[in-house]
Amino acid sequence: MTHKSPNQNGFLVRNHDGHPAALTPAYKSSVTRSPTKPLLSFPGSMGEQTGPVFGHDMLGPLDKDLILNFAQPGEMALGPRIIVRGRVLDQTGRPVPNCLIEVWQANAGGRYRHKNEAYLAPLDPNFGGCGRMITDENGAYEFRTVTPGPYPWPNGMADWRPAHIHFSLMGQAFSQRLITQMYFEGDPMIWQCPIVGSIDDTEAIKSLVASLDMAEAVPMDARVYKFDIVLRGRRQTFFENRWEGL
């Protein structure tokens, strides 16, 4: 029996500067759900440095097509059609292949298909709001959907979320596990949102904003948004030595 022999160099130390603090009172839900004690830092071991692996064969043909994957036969989701594409890299710039990405979003009217959702905007009978894909050998991914609408949410009386798509990334190890949100270039609501504002760094926020790429638009069909994602880097003595010499 062979046991996997993972890279025991582990991962680069997480830089928390670009991440939100646990407690960000303007986002009220964080007040009672944020740990108050410091995280304990320890080098991880195999449980942190490995993770589940998913094969492309588990995906259905419509998993990455949110316009069709919940629609009745012959129908489509309502809203401005877009393709979101990008690459998943690690901090050393290398692609992360075979990374499971799961996305979820509101419909074009800003309404989620969820039993706890009470917003009065209507459901779209042809839109579910979930999709998933696995990055290829270059770390590339793409999916097709409609632009989600902004929506009001119970925080401040007039708080609206900017249009966004939620992303869950499995990475290649539990240490790389990440959930984030993608925003849309030019949306003024980004800069008013307490959840976005939980990140205390303008450059880091900008890296969550997808850019519109009209050159790649599909004529008379869909616009394209580009969104690259960076996961924690695996520590590699070889590369670190090379950097020293650069």
Partner 1 sequence: MSQKLLRETSSQTAGPYVHIGCTPNFAEMSGVYDEDLGAKMKTGPIKGEEITITGQVFDGTGMAIRDAMIEIWQADADGGFALTESNFTGWGRCPTDMETGQFQFDTVKPGQVPYMDGRLQAPHITVWIVARGINLGLHTRLYFDDEAKANAADPILTKIEHRNRVPTLIAKKQSSGSYLFDIHLQGEHETIFFDM
Specify the 3-state DSSP secondary structure of 237.
helix
Name which of residues 142 to 171 contact partner 1 (CB under 8 A): 166, 168
Q: Which residue is catalytic, options 85, 164, 232, 234?
A: 164
Closest CA relative to residue 216, chosen from 67, 63, 84, 68: 84
Evaluate whether 107 touches 124 at the Cβ level (below 8 Å).
yes
d(CA 138, CA 214): 23
Please compute Rg for the chain using Cα positions. 19
Residue 210 contacts partner 1 per CB under 8 A = no
Tokens of 102: 């799961």
**In terms of CB distance, is 37 or 238 closer to partner 1?**
37
Chain centroid to Cα 194, Å, comes to 18
The residue range among 27-35, 75-83, 142-150, 210-218 that interacts with partner 1, by the rule CB under 8 A, is 27-35
Q: Catalytic residue at 161?
A: yes
Beta carbon of residue 104, minimum distance to partner 1 (angstroms, whole number): 3
Beta carbon of residue 30, minimum distance to partner 1 (angstroms, whole number): 5
Name which of residues 31 to 90 contact partner 1 (CB under 8 A): 31-37, 39-48, 50-54, 60, 63, 69-70, 89-90
**In terms of CB distance, is 185 or 201 closer to partner 1?**
201
Give kind and range of the element (H or E) at residue 206. helix 202-206
Catalytic residues: 112, 151, 161, 164, 166
